[in-house]
Structure 1
């Protein structure tokens, strides 16, 4: 669980940052639903790539 928490601690702020940049620079509309969906997708990708702790969260 410690590894999962560490991964989530990195993943969530990173995805918020990316979403914010899309809103500022690409004129995308801010959307919590979109952000949460992208976080889930990215977490799944990280788990597939070897972040095994994230599998317990998913």
Structure 2
């Protein structure tokens, strides 16, 4: 059981890294091509929302990782 849990945590971390890279890429594209203003706060909020959507869609292991603190 411990090995399965560790595997799910690893999958969750891998998914979180992919999500972070994807959101950073999208934010960068918005700034470069759409004239959006770079904003770390905005990026963190949209990443949190996207993480919730990915979890609801069935991203494995993502729901096992602790959620960031509100307002961070």
What's the TM-score bracket when you normalise by the shorter of the two chains? over 0.9
The partner residue of 2:61 within 49, 53, 57 is: 53
| Bigger helix share | 1
Structure 2: tracts of 5 or more residues without a match: 1-8, 68-72
TM-score, normalising length: structure 2: 0.76
TM-score, normalising length: structure 1: 0.92
Aligned pair count reads: 58
The partner residue of 1:5 within 3, 6, 13 is: 13
* CA-atom RMSD in angstroms: 0.9
How far 1:3 sits from its partner (Å)? 1.1
Partner residue of 2:50?
42
Structure 1: tracts of 5 or more residues without a match: none
Ranges of 4+ aligned residues in structure 1 off by more than 3 Å: none
Larger Rg over CA atoms: 2
